């Protein structure tokens, strides 16, 4: 099992690096190998480590919301999930930019998503996966097809969830 995980992680690291551009030029390969750099495998492992409920859904949301780690909000604020700056709950955000949370790094964005989930579950009680998706559709996203997009991303990346 450990060998399978190591092989899959290495495969994902070298195969699925997002295309990151800075002022029209590519970031050096050295920078891509830094521990703080994000890729699909690192994101999913961190979601699991943080104890996020429904990790496959959270992963899919991060991919959608950050546009595979290339959205302006992710690039300038390390905000993977499009989280707005909270008023009534604990947060790991260091500031706000245009009403959205800004984080020191992408890891803090994952922890903040976990805090958001805890806040929701405390208010609503534990939700099943189906109830959670319905909650996301009603309160999280404006896009009426959001949950379908999340489900499609879960299917697209299902091989990662078998780690």
Confidence check: pLDDT of 110 > 50: yes
Residues 125, 27: Cα–Cα separation, whole Å: 44
pLDDT, greater one: 98 or 9: 98
pLDDT, greater one: 98 or 20: 98
Residues 126, 129: Cα–Cα separation, whole Å: 10
The pLDDT value recorded for residue 115 is 98
For residues 98-125, average pLDDT: 97
- CATH no., domain 2-162: 1.10.530.10
Phi-psi region of 96 (alpha: psi -120 to 50; beta: other; left: phi over 0): beta
**What are phi and psi for residue 144, nearest 5 degrees?**
-65, -20
Could you tell me the pTM of the whole model?
A: 0.78
pLDDT for 43-70, tens place per residue?
Answer: 999 999 999 999 999 999 999 999 999 9
Confidence check: pLDDT of 117 > 50: yes
The pLDDT value recorded for residue 36 is 67
Residue 22: name the closest of 34, 31, 13, 11 by CA. 31
For residues 99-118, average pLDDT: 98
Going from N- to C-terminal start, the domains of the chain cover 2-162
Residues 24, 128: Cα–Cα separation, whole Å: 44
For residues 91-100, average pLDDT: 97
Confidence check: pLDDT of 18 > 80: no
Q: What percent of the chain has pLDDT over 90?
A: 72
The pLDDT value recorded for residue 141 is 87
């Amino acid at each position: 099992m450990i060998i399978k995980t190591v092989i899959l992680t290495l495969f994902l690291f070298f195969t699925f690096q997002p295309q990151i551009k800075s002022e029209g030029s590519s970031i050096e390969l050295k920078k891509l190998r830094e521990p703080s750099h994000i890729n699909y495998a690192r994101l999913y492992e961190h979601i699991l480590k943080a104890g996020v409920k429904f990790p496959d859904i959270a992963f899919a949301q991060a991919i959608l919301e950050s546009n595979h780690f290339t959205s302006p909000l992710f690039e300038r604020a390390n905000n993977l999930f499009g989280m707005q700056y909270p008023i009534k709950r604990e947060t790991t955000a260091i500031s706000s930019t245009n009403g959205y949370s800004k984080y020191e790094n992408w890891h803090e964005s994952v922890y903040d998503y976990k805090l958001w989930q805890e806040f929701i579950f405390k208010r609503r009680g534990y939700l099943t996966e189906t109830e959670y998706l319905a909650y996301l559709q009603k309160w999280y996203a404006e896009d009426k097809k959001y949950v379908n997009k999340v489900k499609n991303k879960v299917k697209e990346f299902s091989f990662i969830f078998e780690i």
